[in-house]
Amino acid sequence: MTRLSNLLASTALAATALAAPLAAETVVGISVSPSSMDPQLGALGSDEAYYRHIYDPLILSNADLQPSPALITEWTVIDDTTWEMKLREGVKFHDGSDFDAQDVIATLERLPNVPGSDGLNAEKMSAIKEVEVLNPHLIRLHTEVPTPDLLTLLYTAFVISDELPEDVTTDMFNSGEAAIGTGPYQFVGWDRGQALRLKGNPDYWDGAPAADEVTMREMPDDSARVAALLAGDVDIIDGVPPLDVSRLKENDEISIVSGPSARTIFLQFNTVPEQAPMLTAKDGSALDTNPLRDVKVREAISLAVNQPLIIERIMEGLATPINQPVPSGFMGTDDTLGPVEYDPERAKALLAEAGYEDGFAMTLGCPNDRYVNDAKICQAVGQMLGAVGIDLTVDTMPKSVYFERMRAGEFPFFMLGWGNAQGNSGSMLRSVLVTKDAEAGFGSWNGGFSYPEGDEQLKMAEQLMDLEERDAELAKATRMFMDQHALIPLHAQNVIVALRGDMGYSTMPDEAFRAHNITK
């Protein structure tokens, strides 16, 4: 039977499985719904959390966000643009066929050609110009330029089969027809907006998962998710709201597992257009220029935001203050940056110096189902900016709508979070703050900021193979962007999971829920 025939057979089984509950299943209430089962469609961290159950990446990110063997087991730097990599032998796809170098080629060739893709994974792999096959389990990756963080970029290179049709579509993955990988779980079925059902891979190269049959229920409403756990309708929930932690701890049948996250939450500015959308004088009349282009205005808005109050009141203390795009201690952070200041009087003075003594009116774009308390944070920011004379309209919406609008530059001021799974500032700066240039692979998540001097510094730093030199130059790039007040740092989220019974769970700093981290 061909691999595609096996896929069709597994899809028929999926339909049967969806018709009735699985026995002895573990039910997980998941806070963020998947966009797709196509592992190459997008690079949202929430989607990658689902992908990694079915598909393996070439390289794993371990608990310290450092490269760890996965489908690539060993690597050697031959020269500045050549990496030799050994592939894991004896690995099989869920249909029983073997994994080899041709699957790596098929994976990397499809990445830049997926209709509707957000472009981030293609951006990450854009430096790879050739895959040279030395034997079925030994390859060389040749890059256009020195790429010292190549291993971390491969964290999201989820491998698909070379036997899939060249014109395989996202719909084929979503239906299960093409949703076959080498990961710890096999696809059983997906009811969009309802649940993803998985079956443990008994032959997984890293051992069969303890939770064999798993249903991941899509439950974006925090209250409903907590209520389902208390009622015993689900066994585990992720994204526990900080306000509910104390109440859940009082229940003897429920345990809380919490750990630090690498995800930073921040606010950004759209400085590119001469006249920004949804930004006017207070009377609704057009302004002559975009005030957010003025660094004094950006600094003033930053000074008006009370970061400690957001962490204390909205996050219940279950978040870590940050003062730059990525958490302290990561490669490329600047240790000389001080804490984020809160000084509304100084904010008013800067607005007056910039010619906006009477303030102005603008919209803050914000998701309401992506980050912990995202909408509540944005509403609080609205009140804070009002206190310094800026009339802020807070526009919240589901992430499925929000991110498309944000990336299109529709908001003058907006919220974003970044997972920072690569463990350095380079990935975040490249994707979020460097001027958008799709052809060159930069700024795929840039909502409208441009600072050419910072762009050049980042691009130079990312090509340095010496780690100490690279760390110093990335830190300089970070400082340059922060001196321009390119964003307003808020906090790094905590990962909070709640479980019933005697199950255990290990959190990861990339926030991705992993059913294979459940212990029984």
Q: Do the domain assignments include residue 19?
A: no
Domain that holds residue 148: 25-253+501-519
CATH of residue 86? 3.40.190.10
Same domain, 426 and 454: yes
Q: Do the domain assignments include residue 17?
A: no
Same domain, 248 and 295: no
Q: Do the domain assignments include residue 14?
A: no
CATH of residue 382? 3.10.105.10
Res 20: pLDDT:
36
What is the C-alpha separation between 290 and 293, in angstroms, rounded?
Answer: 6
Cα 284-390-299 angle, rounded to 5 deg: 130
520 and 210 Cβ atoms separated by less than 8 Å: yes
Res 7: pLDDT:
37
417 and 267 Cβ atoms separated by less than 8 Å: no
Same domain, 35 and 164: yes
Q: Of the candidates 99, 199, 174, which has an alpha carbon nearest to the alpha carbon of residue 139?
A: 99
Q: What are 98-129's pLDDT values in tens digits? A: 999 999 999 999 988 899 888 777 888 888 99
Same domain, 402 and 437: yes
What is the C-alpha separation between 305 and 448, in angstroms, rounded?
Answer: 21
Q: What is the pLDDT along the chain (520 residues), one digit of tens a residue?
A: 333 334 334 333 333 333 333 348 999 999 999 999 999 998 788 899 999 999 999 999 887 788 999 999 999 999 999 999 999 999 999 999 999 999 999 999 998 889 988 877 788 888 899 999 999 999 999 999 999 989 988 999 999 999 999 999 999 999 999 999 999 999 999 999 999 999 999 999 999 999 999 999 999 999 999 999 999 999 999 999 998 999 999 999 999 999 889 999 999 999 999 999 999 999 999 999 999 999 999 999 999 999 999 999 999 899 999 999 999 888 999 999 999 999 999 999 999 999 999 999 999 999 999 998 999 999 999 999 999 999 999 999 999 999 999 999 999 999 999 988 888 899 899 999 999 998 888 999 999 999 999 999 999 999 998 889 999 999 999 999 999 999 999 999 999 999 999 999 999 888 889 999 999 8
Q: How many other β-carbons are positioned within 10 Å of the β-carbon of residue 380? A: 18
Provide the whole-model pTM.
0.75
Same domain, 301 and 330: yes
Q: Which residues pair with 138 in a beta bridge?
A: 86, 135
Domain count, the chain: 2
Q: What are 351-385's pLDDT values in tens digits? A: 999 999 999 999 999 999 999 899 999 999 999 99
Same domain, 159 and 290: no
Same domain, 274 and 202: no
Q: Do the domain assignments include residue 7?
A: no
Res 233: pLDDT:
97
Same domain, 246 and 328: no
DSSP 301-348: HHHH--HHHIIIIISTT-EEE-SSSS-TTSBT--TT--PPP--HHHHH
Res 10: pLDDT:
39
Q: Of the candidates 503, 479, 265, 274, which has an alpha carbon nearest to the alpha carbon of residue 374?
A: 265
Q: Do the domain assignments include residue 5?
A: no
Q: Do the domain assignments include residue 8?
A: no
Q: Do the domain assignments include residue 30?
A: yes
Kindly report the backbone phi and psi dihedral angles of residue 413, in degrees, each rounded to the nearest multiple of 5, phi listed first: -145, 135
Same domain, 264 and 310: yes
Same domain, 337 and 476: yes
Q: Of the candidates 54, 53, 38, 37, which has an alpha carbon nearest to the alpha carbon of residue 190?
A: 37
Same domain, 403 and 434: yes
Same domain, 360 and 483: yes
Q: Do the domain assignments include residue 513?
A: yes
Q: Which two tokens stand for residue 209?
A: 């998962």
